[in-house]
Amino acid sequence: MTSDQSPVDGLEWAARRGMGALAEKMGMRFVEFSVERCVATMPVEGNTQPVGLLHGGAYVVLGESLGSMAANLHAGPDRLAVGIDVNATHTRSATSGVVTGVCTPIHLGRNLAVHEIAVTDDQGRRCSTIRITNLIKDMPGR
């Protein structure tokens, strides 16, 4: 459901909207998508630092992609959510397999949406915690 309470299939909506060229290049795949919870995976391979660890920026791309998309689903069809703040704390390094980001809302308001994204490795250990704040505004020209 979007904030205006109209039924929306989140995965279908996300597929139509697209996740963006960067997220696609990084191999992100949406698994679950609703206003209350969004889940995506990303391979470690191809997204590493020279020493073989998943790049810290890759965690942030996963988190920001999930949080921004979730905020836009919440905003509804005539509004646009744009990121105004993102921060991340990395607590473990993934070196193989896939990581999974689970995005949940902290605050869903009319003008701001705040989400937390917990990123875990294949063993379910938290590797990074990302928080993103999105400003919600009317679409340009409307």
Amino acid at position 28, single letter: M
Contacts of 7 (CB under 8 A, 6+ apart): 1
Nearest to 127 by CA among 56, 66, 67: 56
Active-site annotation holder among 24, 36, 64, 116: 64
Q: In the 8-state DSSP scheme, what is residue 111?
A: S
d(C-alpha 68, C-alpha 133), whole Å:
8
Give CA separation, 125 vs 48, 79, 92, in Å.
18, 36, 8
Q: Look at the block and give the residue holding tokens 């890759």.
A: 58
Can 64 be counted among the known catalytic residues?
yes
Catalytic site residues?
Answer: 64
